[in-house]
Structure 1
Amino acid sequence: MGRLSKARYAARFADSAADITAAQRLRHRAFRGGLGEDADRFDEICRNVLIEEVKTGTLVACFRLLALGHGREIGASYSAQFYELSALESYEGRLVEMGRFCVDTAWKDPDILRVAWAAMTRYVDETGTDLLFGCSSFTGCEAKAYYDAFAVLRDRHLAPKRWLPKVKAPDVFRFARRLRRVPDPRAAMRTMPPLLKGYLAMGGWVSDHAVIDRDLGTLHVFTGLEVKSIPAARARLLRGALA
């Protein structure tokens, strides 16, 4: 991927133990609050991406990537801990899992997310990735605050049946079954996580249930995006977003 920049921010791969520790500390602040390191075994097999302010070198966002040769390897992914993904084992293309995406809560600049997506686009292009997937998280474990968002996901963005993840985690909210409300689209967009909005705008789809992750204090949905489904105009914008 190399170093990618857009005015105030730059994206690069972590290349030292100090870089990994910095990402783990940012993840801890974002997902758990306070000081500490959010570390797990997946950091050893993933490529961590750092997004920094160019002028100061301040780490403002990060995520990690796990490349899989084909669907038969999906059981090794982070997401497979929470979702039964046997339907995707027959996927023949190259897959990449994007995980632990977070932005420092002190930074609100939308260009940070644009740089993240542009960096991801460069990586997808360079590796010939066919399917991008991961867990998109809603803050907190109470589904009621997100009923409109979940109803929109139910009505417009469920995974194709051939790829639909099944329930595996013990604590889930089956929004596709349980919700009967007609969603308020504006309320849905206000509560939809920014990363998930990005996936959906490019043609992404989600599981029919959310996992209640009490360890991280989030609700998350499995999210998939087939690269061939990304609208051409949006793909051009992403590829042109970074120097």
Structure 2
Amino acid sequence: MHTTLERARTTFPLSPARPAAEAVIPAGALLGRIGPLEVRLARNSSEIAAAQEVRFRVFYDELGAKRDYVHELEALDADRFDAICDHLVVFDTAISGPDHRQIVGTYRLLRQEAASVAGGFYSSDEFEMDVLVARHPGRRFLELGRSCVLPEYRTKRTVELLWQGIWAYARRHGVDVMTGCASFPGVIPAAHAEALSFLAHHCAADADWHTRAVSARFHTMDLMPVEAVNQKAALLAMPPLIKGYLRLGARFGEGCVVDRDFGTTDVFVILPVERISERYINYYGAEATRFAA
């Protein structure tokens, strides 16, 4: 997660190797289904507001983020990026009432084309993403953010459904690289010394994909010597979202960032599509093919 700073941002060029993806997913297009749960893009302002309400309930009410940047009466987690992002939403169709009241989870998707027009990616407040993008001018980037699911829906099935939707979306838009922040709870990196050290020693991005936390906010992740890190304990200590990224084949940037507004310690995820584990390509791809055509 990030603060809602409104500082100037680098404008990222579109890839010169190919034009922007022509295929556009219509708002409301179904991207996945498991039982009564469905995932698709929010199709109107009511559904986006419902996703923002879910975010508020998780980030502010449950996890204790500060409320300096939100209106108390609105109870919405919102910033200027919401207007240029696509909002992936999970619906529980078994809930009666209007569609927007069925929303139980969400992911915010920011494509490079939209970030270029808006002046940059959200993650640039914390990590040197402009350097990463500039190093790969022939790649199309997708930033994943604001991931949250209501407590009663935090199951393997919901996570799988979200990834069905992300994969269908990525296929349709010709995405090459997925990036974004993932968070550990709390603002003391040392509280996660073993997990952060494991990421630093064993899961760091190679030179071609290396990304660093911005200097002013940099905290080291190398908090324990490699021989002292117990892999099993480190993995058990990681939040489910970070373990999920690891299973897919993600690598991580250098350094973490403390976000005091949201009360988190953030790490940077880099996931080139060609490095996603084949078994997950086969698993999610089979479902995505049904919805991405």
Is the 1:14–1:48 contact (alpha carbons within 8 Å) kept by the matching residues of 2? yes
Corresponding residue for residue 112 of structure 2: 68
Corresponding residue for residue 111 of structure 1: 157
Letter in 2 for 1:108: R
Corresponding residue for residue 49 of structure 2: 21
Give the Cα–Cα distance (whole angstroms) in 1 for the partners of residues 265 and 144 of structure 2.
17
Inter-CA distance 180–209: structure 2 relative to 1 (3 Å threshold): same
Q: CA deviation at 1:123?
A: 0.8
Farther-moved stretch of structure 1 (122-131 vs 183-192): 183-192
Give the Cα–Cα distance (whole angstroms) in 2 for the partners of residues 63 and 147 of structure 1.
28
Q: Residue 80 in 1 paired to residue 120 in 2?
A: no
Percent identity of equivalent pairs:
28
Rg comparison, structure with higher value: 2
Inter-CA distance 13–171: structure 2 relative to 1 (3 Å threshold): same
Q: CA deviation at 1:17?
A: 1.0
Corresponding residue for residue 221 of structure 1: 267
Q: CA deviation at 1:126?
A: 1.0
Corresponding residue for residue 55 of structure 1: 94
Q: How many correspondences in the alignment?
A: 242
| Structure 2: 5+ residue stretches without partners | 1-24, 63-71
Q: CA deviation at 1:93?
A: 0.9
Corresponding residue for residue 147 of structure 1: 193
Is the 2:144–2:180 contact (alpha carbons within 8 Å) kept by the matching residues of 1? yes
Give the Cα–Cα distance (whole angstroms) in 1 for the partners of residues 159 and 231 of structure 2.
22
Is the 1:151–1:183 contact (alpha carbons within 8 Å) kept by the matching residues of 2? yes
Q: TM-score scaled by structure 1? A: 0.91
Greater percentage in strand: 1
Corresponding residue for residue 89 of structure 1: 134
Q: TM-score scaled by structure 2? A: 0.76
Poorly superposed stretches of 4+, deviation over 6 Å: 70-75
Q: CA deviation at 1:72?
A: 7.7
Alignment of 1:1-243 (within 5 A): 1=25, 2-3=29-30, 4-33=32-61, 36-56=75-95, 58-69=102-113, 76-85=120-129, 86-91=131-136, 92-168=138-214, 170-176=216-222, 178-180=223-225, 182-241=228-287
Is the 1:73–1:89 contact (alpha carbons within 8 Å) kept by the matching residues of 2? no
Give the Cα–Cα distance (whole angstroms) in 1 for the partners of residues 186 and 57 of structure 2.
15
Give the Cα–Cα distance (whole angstroms) in 2 for the partners of residues 155 and 107 of structure 1.
33
Per the alignment, in what secondary structure is the counterpart of residue 257 of structure 2?
A: strand
Give the Cα–Cα distance (whole angstroms) in 2 for the partners of residues 170 and 205 of structure 1.
23
| Structure 1: 5+ residue stretches without partners | none
Q: CA deviation at 1:186?
A: 2.4
Q: CA RMSD in A?
A: 2.3
Give the Cα–Cα distance (whole angstroms) in 2 for the partners of residues 148 and 241 of structure 1.
36
Per the alignment, in what secondary structure is the counterpart of residue 101 of structure 1?
A: strand
